Amino acid sequence: MPYPPQGVVGVSDFLGLADTPGAYAGQAALLPAVNALENALEFVAGAPTPQYPMFTNTVIFGPAVKNDTWESLDCGVGPAIVYIKVELDANRTGTVKMLPNDEANELVTTMIGTHYMGTTRVGYVMAVTDSAGLVKWLCDGDVDAGNTTLTMMGYWTGHTKADALVFSGAGGAAWADMLIGPPNALCILKITTTDGNPVDFVARIRGETQDMEAWNWLGCTTAPSLPTGQQSYILVVTDAEGYIQRKNTNARTYTVHLVTHISGATFPKMGVFNGDAPAVWQDVDTPFGRAFAFIRHYHKADAGHTNAAWRENGETFPVNPAMSILVCTGNLEPTEIGYVFVPLDENGLVEWEGDGAHSSELRVEALCQ
């Protein structure tokens, strides 16, 4: 039998089929998929390309004296999201602030990182380089004679530096959904005040039921006491629809920009500790191997406040609770939560220390490995 059968005219174009979209215009990079009614094809966005961390242990500055003047620093990895350890020696105190080199507003209150570290202390900073791979940074403190050392522990490439406005207006004291955009992603947000008064901003994973207060240094999702015209950077995790939950306790106006995001995270939501927070440095043992882990710290319903800090396994310098908000949950009240983003070693270990006698639960919410 001849093919096609005599009298039957075929189509030579995908769009010529009866159950396919009618045009390619505006559909660049989309993929064909069966629609929800399961009776035709449509164009949909494909899964985002996963971004996996590159692990390193590269000194990119020091040990040397660094003052409170903004200066450019080449991280050596091109456009990237970088995770950096900060060490201050016995003659140095200060707050390390780090911005993309092309950021015009240098009035920054907190990065995803350090907040007035003491001498012989370690802290951790997460930052975004510009298109040339540069950040700008300073170390602002009371004692300037000693040395600062920056060691890059890991980085992510392949991201898009969007700086996209996702919210502008007044917040409220009640938790509310906020659409960020990228689903199931770790997102770096820039919070900027547009009010004549300070803003207290806090975010949590959508669906969380425990509370947290914006005025406490509760980890990497908080921007407390942000002065007028200044900005702060936080790290949040979106759900499958691209949402977080947020509130600010003083109902001030502000803007939220999505600076960039990391896709390809997994979400184990696995408990890794349940007991009293240790009064001395102690390992948290996870089954994940080398990774960066987004951890939820829950202070259970005993009396008083609790403070906790994390550091890489084997580190000898201490971390002051609430002095490095990427890896600290400070002043947690009973039944409150906070989040940290910490490095796990090849055995899945990270160290933490609390103030003892306060019952806590730790859960790995998201994982980059």
At 139, the pLDDT band (50, 70, 90 cuts) reads confident
pTM summary value = 0.85
Alpha-carbon distance of 111 to 24, in angstroms, equals 43
Q: With a cut of 90, say whether residue 112 has pLDDT above it.
A: no
At 163, the pLDDT band (50, 70, 90 cuts) reads confident
217 and 301 inside one domain: no
359 and 284 inside one domain: yes
Between 91 and 254, name the one with better pLDDT: 254
109 and 197 inside one domain: no
Which among 115, 134, 156 is the end of a domain? 156
What dihedral do alpha carbons 68, 69, 73, 79 form, nearest 10°?
100
Residue 9's pLDDT is 60
Between 117 and 353, name the one with better pLDDT: 353
Residue range(s) defining the domain that contains residue 24: 1-46
Alpha-carbon distance of 114 to 86, in angstroms, equals 8
**Which range, of 53-57, 103-107, 174-178, averages the lowest pLDDT?**
103-107
Residue 318's pLDDT is 84
Closest residue by Cα to residue 199 from 166, 230, 174 = 230
Residue 315's pLDDT is 93
CATH of the domain at 116: 2.60.120
- For residue 37, the SS3 value is coil
275 and 252 inside one domain: no
Give me the chain's average pLDDT, please. 85
For the segment 184-243, what is each residue's pLDDT rounded down to a tens digit?
Answer: 999 999 998 887 777 888 999 999 999 987 555 668 888 877 778 788 899 999 999 999
Q: With a cut of 80, say whether residue 339 has pLDDT above it.
A: yes
Amino acid at 237: V
296 and 364 inside one domain: yes
Q: With a cut of 80, say whether residue 30 has pLDDT above it.
A: no
Residues present in the chain in total: 369
At 179, the pLDDT band (50, 70, 90 cuts) reads very high
Contact assessment for residue 355 and residue 321, using Cβ atoms and an 8 Å cutoff:
yes
292-316 mean pLDDT: 89
CB count, 10 Å around CB of 222?
26
- The secondary element (H helix, E strand) that includes residue 216 is none
Q: With a cut of 80, say whether residue 3 has pLDDT above it.
A: no
254 and 286 inside one domain: no
Q: With a cut of 80, say whether residue 156 has pLDDT above it.
A: yes
Residue 207's pLDDT is 95
Strand partners, 44: 31
Residue 201's pLDDT is 87
Residue 50's pLDDT is 64
Alpha-carbon distance of 117 to 111, in angstroms, equals 13
Q: Give me the percent of the chain exceeding a pLDDT of 90.
A: 44
Residue 37's pLDDT is 75
Residue 205's pLDDT is 96
Between 288 and 25, name the one with better pLDDT: 288
What is the number of structural domains in the chain?
A: 4
DSSP secondary structure code for residue 39 in this structure: S
70-87 mean pLDDT: 93
Alpha-carbon distance of 261 to 236, in angstroms, equals 9
What dihedral do alpha carbons 245, 250, 256, 260 form, nearest 10°?
-60
Residue 301's pLDDT is 77
Which among 156, 184, 204 is the end of a domain? 156
109 and 149 inside one domain: yes
Q: Give me the percent of the chain exceeding a pLDDT of 70.
A: 85
CA distances from 298 to 28, 181, 209, 358 (A): 44, 27, 11, 10
**Which range, of 9-13, 36-40, 264-268, averages the lowest pLDDT?**
9-13
**Which range, of 97-106, 140-149, 180-189, 303-312, averages the lowest pLDDT?**
140-149
Alpha-carbon distance of 244 to 230, in angstroms, equals 22
Alpha-carbon distance of 307 to 355, in angstroms, equals 6
Which among 116, 134, 156 is the end of a domain? 156
Q: With a cut of 70, say whether residue 312 has pLDDT above it.
A: yes
Q: How large is the C-alpha radius of gyration of the chain?
A: 23
Q: Is the dihedral of CA 204, 208, 214, 216 positive or negative?
A: negative
Alpha-carbon distance of 158 to 81, in angstroms, equals 9
232 and 305 inside one domain: no
